[in-house]
Amino acid sequence: MKRFAELTEQEILALAITNEDEDSRIYRGFAEGLREKYPASAKVFDEMAEEEVRHRTMLFDLYRTKFGEYLPLIRRQDVKGFIQKKPLWLMHPLNLDEVRKFAENMEYEAARFYRRATETSRDTSVRQLLVELAEAEVEHEGLAHKLGQQILTPSARAKEDETARRMFVLQYVQPGLAGLMDGSVSTLAPLVRGVVCGVMTAIGGLGHTLPYLIPNFWTATAVAIAVVAVELAAISYIRHRFMDTPFLQATFQVVVGGVLVFVAGILIGSS
């Protein structure tokens, strides 16, 4: 790896061109990953990708004027001091908040790069372009805000917020609820379930099992019954809060299910 101070002006421009190209492709990846569920935010990242393409064109035009057509391959990972990026754009489904934070960090790093490059450049035209690009990257946050106001209208933002809520319910609430309910039936479920479902299954199963560490059987049973009541109340609340089930209906369904399991256990145990 080379230190930044060791880079020539040709290498600095080549690195800047590579960075702009990579950033535009990252933004395009964000847009594609968000397009189905967050179309308005995808449009914002499409516009930011186009802005990065314009920056690359400006840099390459200047580079050709100064150094010709040959463009040496030099990337962020070839220079000390650059932050290594987690390949968030390859992960699906994309988390909207993580993507926005990632983009903010990208713009900050790009502006920092251009300011450092300006300090080492001796060519007036190169310095001028680098200064302009540093200012442009600083203003990108304003661009994102402006685009957000134009594209992410209140109705569009409300729709995306509702989509994010549904994704949260599907990814965490439902499997967690299934695990919590399964825990009342089988403590083996954590061995064959996903992480969220398995953890909640363990909580549901162990919650009313651990009281039997108490030496007195009837005391342990009373504590276990109280724990089960809390579990059933928690299940009813979660279904009401996140799955839009009326609280009384959710409570009735859960209690009836719990009673049936309890009765089945008694019948099996006494047979």
pLDDT tens figures, 29-64: 999 988 888 888 888 889 889 989 998 999 899 899
pTM: 0.53
Which residues in 34-100 belong to E strands, given as ranges? none
Measured in whole angstroms, the distance separating CA 168 from the mean position of its chain's CA atoms is: 11
Encoded tokens for 42: 């995808």
Who's near 218: CB < 8 A, 6+ residues apart? none
Q: What is the DSSP string of 176-235?
A: HHHHHHHTTT-TTGGGTS-HHHHHHHHHHHHHTTGGGGSSSHHHHHHHHHHHHHHHHHHH
pLDDT at 269 exceeding the cut of 60:
no
| Per-residue confidence (pLDDT) for residue 24, from 0 to 100 | 92
| Per-residue confidence (pLDDT) for residue 146, from 0 to 100 | 53
pLDDT at 98 exceeding the cut of 90:
no
Looking at per-residue pLDDT, the higher value among 164 and 234 belongs to 234
How much is the average pLDDT of 18-31? 91
Apex 133 CA angle, 143 and 112, nearest 5: 95
Q: Which of 16, 35, 2 is nearest to 121 (CA)?
A: 16
Query: What is the residue-averaged pLDDT of the chain?
Result: 76
CA separation, residue 9 to residues 107, 113, 130 (Å): 22, 13, 11
What single DSSP character describes residue 102? Answer: H
Q: For residue 150, how many C-alpha atoms fall within 13 Å in the half-sphere facing its CB?
A: 11
| Per-residue confidence (pLDDT) for residue 195, from 0 to 100 | 63
How much is the average pLDDT of 114-124? 82
CA separation, residue 222 to residues 172, 209, 236 (Å): 31, 12, 21
Q: Tell me which range, 15-29, 118-132, 159-173, 201-215, is most confidently predicted by mean pLDDT.
A: 15-29
First to last CA, the chain: 74
Q: Tell me which range, 19-23, 119-123, 141-145, is most confidently predicted by mean pLDDT.
A: 19-23
The stretches of 68-172 forming alpha helices (DSSP H) are 96-120, 124-151, 154-168
How much is the average pLDDT of 69-87? 81
Share of the chain above pLDDT 90, in %: 10
Q: Quick one: pLDDT band at residue 152, thresholds 50, 70, 90?
A: low
pLDDT at 249 exceeding the cut of 80:
no
Looking at per-residue pLDDT, the higher value among 92 and 11 belongs to 11
pLDDT at 144 exceeding the cut of 60:
no
Cβ contact 56:21 at 8 Å: yes
| Per-residue confidence (pLDDT) for residue 239, from 0 to 100 | 77
Cβ contact 94:30 at 8 Å: yes
Q: Picking from 8-22, 55-69, 98-112, 194-208, which range would have the lowest pLDDT averaged per residue? A: 194-208
| Per-residue confidence (pLDDT) for residue 97, from 0 to 100 | 74
